[in-house]
Amino acid sequence: MLPEKGYWIPFEGTVLEKEPLTGDPNDPLVVPFGRIFAGLSFQAVCEEYDLERRLCRVRIVAMPETHQEIARHLEAFGAQQVGFQ
């Protein structure tokens, strides 16, 4: 089983409605994985949004070496690692 780690990562886009969470079709809600993690292979799921801080809590599943590389990318991007229960 591959290890999982969680992070709060800034998301982009315009929120139109909070319940249910809806983005603007012309400016959709996205976590910019491609820009942050170009060339890395992993699975990620956004589990929660903090709309006031414009952050998404993301669970990332990857090989241990990939997690090390992800941590370097996220540190440069300003993301915060969080624990999952």
Boundaries of every domain in the chain: 4-82
Torsion over CA of 44, 4, 59 and 47, rounded to 10 degrees?
120
Confidence at residue 67, expressed as pLDDT on a 0 to 100 scale:
85
Please state the pTM of the whole predicted model. 0.72
Q: In this predicted model, what pLDDT tens digit does every residue of 52-85 receive, in sequence order?
A: 988 888 888 888 888 888 888 777 766 666 654 3
